[in-house]
Amino acid sequence: MIQLRDYQERVLDDITYEFNQGKNKICATMPCGAGKTILSGWMARGTALKNRRVIFMVHRQELIEQTSETFTAMNINHGIIATGAPKDYDKLVQVASVQTLVKRLKDIHPPDFIICDECHHVVANTYRKIIDNYPNLKVLGVTATPERLGGHGLGDVFESLVIGPTVKELISWGNLSDYQYYAPPAKFNADEVRVKFGEFVKSDLEVQLDNNAVVGDIIMNYKKLADGMRAICYCVNRKHSEHIAKSFNDAGIPAIHVDGETHKSVRTQAIKDFRDNKIKILCNAELFGEGFDVPAMEAVILARPTQSLTLFIQQAMRAMRPDPNNKNKKAVIIDHVGNCFRHGMPDEDREWTLEPKKKKHTGERTLSVKTCPQCFSAHYSNTRQCPCCGFVYPIAVREEMPEQKKGELIKIEEIERKIKRQEVGKARSIKELEMIAIKRGYSMRWVSRMAKIKGIRRLG
């Protein structure tokens, strides 16, 4: 019998409260590893017990199987709506692929409730078509990163945002393993790469990154920083991924490239060999993102720059699942492409908001991370000393940090973030907290919790 963890109960309470307030579209933030599927299964079961219909909607075929397994482990009787799966529409709980569901809206019983996994995709047409098809539908969206590429909030779909636990909290409670982040000097210049639809153009990335010098660095740094660990390496495309896998093999480190077109039996064997420690490195372009979890995986190699905070978080945190056999596990992240300078550290506290406003494209947008020149560990900038090796930064080196040259845009963004943080810090009354909550679309439950943390009492 699977029980909810305390923080999952708390998130469940907050979601229920929002629905009871008459809201129909709620978004809940849950970091990777916080147990979104379990919480969703819990809610799906509760809905079915009231004899109502619920669909858990995922956007990739691979996630159907995984969700179905979790639901089965939770004794949730469910049908599956996906290409190739037998139709069983009478079951109250359905696990559905978005692509299949949108084509079968006429065939299925209208749902009372839809839980939308990875709901940062929700603004896409297929999702809107499904949701808009049922006027009184209740929708819960769950995601680790409630924003779209380019930083837009999801306020055009959701009415309220429930803030789940933070990555820092999950690490401190042991629900995620701690990590060591390295950002060795990158042979990659983002200024020379075109950006289309908010993301780097892959052919440009390939030109810069698929060469022996860059790939050689990846092998060298793996040996230096993560030797012997099982790692996933995220690459630009198939050719790049195959090149890296071959170079690892040539260096005597067993590696394999796997992608969506790899035959299923080969893929399954590769994952099995990885679990059995016969393969050390799994190279891929985007295959092992959302939902791929191997507890014994200890390292992640980032060889593909991205503008997407969602993709960055999913890839960087992939090795942070705790290992029951290794209580002291510390995941190693080796970032060869400076993603941490664009997006910050994986456990950075982020000020989520439903506000749909567009942020300016600022390229390397954060000042909060720097790399130690001695050990390459990446860490927050607000320290004079490297927390990993103890290196003391001379003032001159600090001034030469490359991200400081990036000019005014970065400063503005940093100031904006600071103001947002200060907003909460400066709030002295329930009223002020409420104003912040309304502006950002937070649940009013957030107000009472924040008031409690800050020791503010309701007057009268």
The site for Zn ion (CB under 5 A) is made up of 372, 374-375, 377, 386, 388-389, 391
Tell which residue, 111, 78, 116, has the closest CA to residue 94. Answer: 78
Give min distance, CB of 345 to Zn ion, in A.
15
Give min distance, CB of 395 to Zn ion, in A.
17
- 109 DSSP 8-state letter: P
Output 183 or 209, the one with its CB closest to Zn ion: 183
Output 119 or 378, the one with its CB closest to Zn ion: 378
Long-range contacts formed by 292-295: CB under 8 A, 24+ apart:
292/62, 292/318, 293/318, 293/321, 294/230, 294/321, 295/321, 295/322, 295/323, 295/324
Output 12 or 388, the one with its CB closest to Zn ion: 388
Give min distance, CB of 227 to Zn ion, in A.
18
Output 79 or 184, the one with its CB closest to Zn ion: 184
Give min distance, CB of 161 to Zn ion, in A.
37
Bridging pattern class, strands 378-380 and 369-371: antiparallel
For residue 2, with 0-12 CB atoms within 10 Å meaning exposed, 13-18 middle and 19 or more buried, which class applies? Answer: exposed
Token digits of residue 460:
């009268």
Q: Say how far apart CA 254 and CA 252 lie, in whole Å.
A: 6
Q: Do the Cβ atoms of 440 and 353 come closer than 8 Å?
A: yes
Tell which residue, 285, 348, 347, has the closest CA to residue 317. Answer: 347
Output 171 or 372, the one with its CB closest to Zn ion: 372
Torsion of CA 187, 307, 64, 80, to 10 degrees: -160
Give min distance, CB of 171 to Zn ion, in A.
20
Neighbours of 45 (CB within 10 A): 18
Give min distance, CB of 375 to Zn ion, in A.
3
Give min distance, CB of 304 to Zn ion, in A.
25
Token digits of residue 68:
């179905």
Q: Do the Cβ atoms of 58 and 80 come closer than 8 Å?
A: no
Output 19 or 391, the one with its CB closest to Zn ion: 391
Output 326 or 383, the one with its CB closest to Zn ion: 383
200: three-class secondary structure by DSSP:
strand
SS (H, E, C) 329-384: CEEEEEECCCHHHHHCCCCCCCCCCCCCCCCCCCCCCCCCEEECCCCCEEEECCCC
Give min distance, CB of 280 to Zn ion, in A.
25
Output 389 or 415, the one with its CB closest to Zn ion: 389
Compute the chain's Rg from CA coordinates: 23
Output 389 or 438, the one with its CB closest to Zn ion: 389
Give min distance, CB of 384 to Zn ion, in A.
12
